[in-house]
Chain A
Amino acid sequence: MTENNQSALFERFELDGSMSLSVNSNRKLKNIIVKMFVLADLDESYTSRSLVPMVLRRGTTRLPDMQALRRYRESLYGCTLGSSTIKVGEWQAAVFSLDIVNEAFLPGAESLFEKGLELLRELIFDPLVEDGAFSADYVAREKDLLATNIRSHIDNKDEYAVLRCTEEMCAGEPYRRHEMGSLDEIDGIEPGALMDFYRDWSSSSPLALYVCGDVDPEQVREMAAAAFSFERSEPKSLSALPAAVEVGQVREVREQFEVNQAKLVLGFRHGICPGDDAYEALLLLNTILGGFSHSKLFQNVREKASLAYSARSWVERTKGLLYMSCGIATENYEQALEISLAQLDAISEGEISDGEFDASLKTILNQNRMLEDNFPALVASDFIWRLHGGELDLAGLRERLERVSRDEIAAAAATIRHDTTYFLHS
């Protein structure tokens, strides 16, 4: 790729205070989408780090409670303001987002984006402070809510089964930690200590700001520099990418619940990341295996054996994992397990039909092109690529995908190791 790439998706700027700014200027959006990532290691403070954005959304110095915040958002034509916590490999990021109408489509509205950006700044960097700490009431309520949210994992059996499979597979590794935190840690968090934690986190974590919409990048740079210009400490360096883990005998875990449908989740390790030689082969492998309805898992578990409504696979690309899952009747465990594992074996032995290969390549190229219109996904994908030292380059990715051979896919499949079988059943 040349230095001055005309088709680059984002215009990049480095702002003071170790903040990067990436702007995608386009004529497609009627709104402006803004995301701020605050990045850290997924270390033992993970519960506090997940609680902070929840406390922040309760109120700022100027808009001290949820009602005031919401009313102000309504007056800005209902802009949305969100905060969440995600896990990217063994890193944890708080994601703050703003979605606001572009005032070009609202006769009479003025400086909407500027006000929105200022609101985002307040949310992250200007929280309500009482006696030098977070509001004790807010912290108590959000601790309760976080505990309920963590306990509620069980409400969704599909997600719960994946979460449990991950905990078992990665026991002893930071990746076992859920991005929302741990129930055991919540009780001990105090408003004062949380404020100290917040001050350190907000002043020394690397920041990545993204803006997508019909905007002038230079103008966005000026506005972002004005909104986020304050003293920050030297950014903390993050831990390196997770090292490869040896796989021994397959772990088997079974848990019983009162359910109508059992969930089978299989966890695998591959260790292939964006930028690696085998990365594109891995993406194609997953497309052939279980990414779509033409894929082997859907065809064999659902269409041929009629065992499940959903049967799929997906790839975690920073820790280097692959999962397969299906919802089945409890008594079909052996059959579903055997059929699922056989699909990956088949790929590693090169059993990829012309139809499967062709459909998978076309599907993944199609998805790749359509990503250009899906800005939240584009931002998320670029963020991950940047963590791997590159940047999202859809055209380059397409070129590399088109060059992948069946042998390379089979070779990638042969490196994938089955680590854990998790079965939630009645």
Chain B
Amino acid sequence: MTLPELEKLSNLTLKEEVYRATLPSGLEVSFCPKPGFQKRYACYSTRFGSIDNEFTGSGGESLRVPDGIAHFLEHTLFETPKGNASDLFALNGASNNASTSFTQTTYLFAASDRFWDNLGLLIDFVENPCFQDDKVEKERGIIEQEIKGYDDSPGWVNYRGLLGNLFSEHPVRIDIAGTVETIAEIDTATLQSCYDRFYHPSNMHLFVVGDLDRQELFEFVAERSRAGETLEGELERKYPAESAEVFKAEGEVEMDVAATKFILGFKETGIPLAGEELVRRELLSDLGLDLLFGSSSDLFRELYEKQLVHDGLWSGYDTLGGVAYAMVGGDTSSPDEFPGRLLDGIESRLGEALSRDNFERKKRQFIGDFVRRFSSLEFIAHGFTTYLFRDFDLFSLIDLINGLEREMLEEHLHSLLDPDRHSIFKIIPRSN
């Protein structure tokens, strides 16, 4: 059979290569050879996550689907006419899993042998849905328990609380799994309409990494995967207009925790959906947050010495569906004093945090972290997929890090950490 020409990406520093091709169906397939590894790892992903709840259906119609449906669909896809897909993987000895995020659903397996049987199984069960009323009912009970488990997790409740505070309309404020009430509305018809649109080959990516022959791999996938029907019109996702202002400045919940947990968050709107600019923004944010709040910063040192923070501060930045948020969190025994000190610290310590020495050392750390992660097949597969969904190639990240300038960072942080766009959410120890 004729295969589309393989595009080769390589990185000389990392001594790694990735081959990729787009099949006639529109499916993108990538492969990273890893000679000597026992493990072979594949992940099949679609650009469909919890924030995609309003879109144009496969017939061009406008659809609004229940919250939590991407995650529900992930669960129900495992039911195949030949049995549960996890059981079928187990019969081949493979370990498998799946996950749903705000923007992506991924199905994966890891195996040391019977690789082709497992890859065939992965492709078959993801591409051939079989939604049945009784299976949907059964899954509803399981997902209800999953949601209740999350509701008892202080870290998760804190994070969800913050996003609900920052955003008033955008679906990032909705829990990825939905709620017991919203998943009650899900049925086989709504699942099928989401499937038809988001699981089209042109919206998906298959990444394989391990000790395999690349010709054999691309031939196998081209042969096994489906052609994909013709869809009417382009897939359009609709996100409601989101104000630049935060929805609520503060919030708290009582739970069984030993010390108050808090997250300080900042909101951004009008963010690009993909491209190098987006990736640079993410890098600058991560670098800047680490410089300001990481354990090498003067601000952290001050907060730690004044016993305002227990151990470390963690920070993170995420972009999705045209919005973004930065977070810094930790445990404190001075919940009233702490947020103010943290906000003051951002103002007074930003300049010194971004000194040339600090900036260059932190860049060096980011480069080292990036190289170290290439020991992990999982990082390679998920990293490439996530960046590919943002029209960016993971190998280029190292050049992007090297090209970062201090001035860019300063400008970006002043806009990101705008005191007028912050919110705080706390989990406080139960008062009884």
Hey, which bits of chain A sit against chain B, CB under 8 A?
26-31, 65-67, 70-71, 73-79, 99-101, 105-107, 141, 144-145, 148, 151-152, 154-157, 257-261, 292-294, 302-303, 306-310, 327-329, 355, 358-363, 365-367, 369-370, 372-373
Give A68's nearest chain B residue, CB to CB: B296
Q: Which residues of B contact A360 (CB under 8 A)?
A: 90
Contact assessment for A306 and B142 in the assembled complex, using a CB-CB cutoff below 8 Å: yes
Q: Which residues of A contact B297 (CB under 8 A)?
A: 67
Hey, which bits of chain B sit against chain A, CB under 8 A?
13-15, 34, 36-39, 84, 86-87, 90-95, 110-114, 138, 141-143, 145-146, 148-149, 151-155, 256-259, 294-298, 300-301, 304, 307, 310-311, 331, 361-362, 364-369, 371-372, 374-375, 377, 430
B339 to chain A, nearest CB (A): 19
Give B97's nearest chain A residue, CB to CB: A293
Q: Which residues of A contact B301 (CB under 8 A)?
A: 65-67
Contact assessment for A105 and B86 in the assembled complex, using a CB-CB cutoff below 8 Å: no
Contact of B361 among A71, A105, A157, A365 (CB under 8 A): A71
Contact assessment for B294 and A294 in the assembled complex, using a CB-CB cutoff below 8 Å: no
Q: Which residues of A contact B152 (CB under 8 A)?
A: 157, 259-261
Q: Which residues of B contact A79 (CB under 8 A)?
A: 368
- If A70-B294, A155-B257, A260-B152 touch, whether A30 touches B371 (CB-CB below 8 Å) is yes
9 A-B contacts (beta carbon < 8 Å): A30-B374, A67-B298, A106-B13, A144-B307, A152-B257, A294-B90, A360-B90, A366-B95, A370-B111
Contact assessment for A154 and B257 in the assembled complex, using a CB-CB cutoff below 8 Å: yes
- If A70-B294, A363-B93 touch, whether A303 touches B367 (CB-CB below 8 Å) is no
B30 to chain A, nearest CB (A): 19
Contact of A306 among B138, B148, B296 (CB under 8 A): B138
C-alpha spacing A317/B143, complex, angstroms: 33
Contact assessment for B38 and A373 in the assembled complex, using a CB-CB cutoff below 8 Å: yes
Contact assessment for A309 and B146 in the assembled complex, using a CB-CB cutoff below 8 Å: yes
B155 to chain A, nearest CB (A): 8
Contact assessment for A77 and B375 in the assembled complex, using a CB-CB cutoff below 8 Å: no
- If A31-B372, A156-B153, A373-B38 touch, whether A261 touches B148 (CB-CB below 8 Å) is yes
Q: Which residues of A contact B91 (CB under 8 A)?
A: 294, 355, 358-359, 362
C-alpha spacing A258/B142, complex, angstroms: 21
Contact assessment for B296 and A152 in the assembled complex, using a CB-CB cutoff below 8 Å: no
C-alpha spacing A306/B95, complex, angstroms: 22
Q: Which residues of B contact A261 (CB under 8 A)?
A: 145, 148-149, 151-152
Contact assessment for A372 and B149 in the assembled complex, using a CB-CB cutoff below 8 Å: no
A300 to chain B, nearest CB (A): 13
Contact of A105 among B13, B154, B307, B331 (CB under 8 A): B13
C-alpha spacing A78/B145, complex, angstroms: 40
Q: Which residues of B contact A361 (CB under 8 A)?
A: 93
Contact assessment for B93 and A366 in the assembled complex, using a CB-CB cutoff below 8 Å: yes
Contact of A294 among B13, B86, B146 (CB under 8 A): B86
Q: Which residues of A contact B296 (CB under 8 A)?
A: 67, 70-71, 74
Q: Which residues of A contact B368 (CB under 8 A)?
A: 76-79, 100-101, 106
B153 to chain A, nearest CB (A): 7
C-alpha spacing A257/B432, complex, angstroms: 12
Give A361's nearest chain B residue, CB to CB: B93
Contact of B372 among A99, A258, A292 (CB under 8 A): A99
C-alpha spacing A2/B223, complex, angstroms: 46
Give B155's nearest chain A residue, CB to CB: A155
Contact assessment for A154 and B256 in the assembled complex, using a CB-CB cutoff below 8 Å: yes
Contact of B295 among A67, A303, A309, A327 (CB under 8 A): A67
Contact assessment for A373 and B377 in the assembled complex, using a CB-CB cutoff below 8 Å: yes
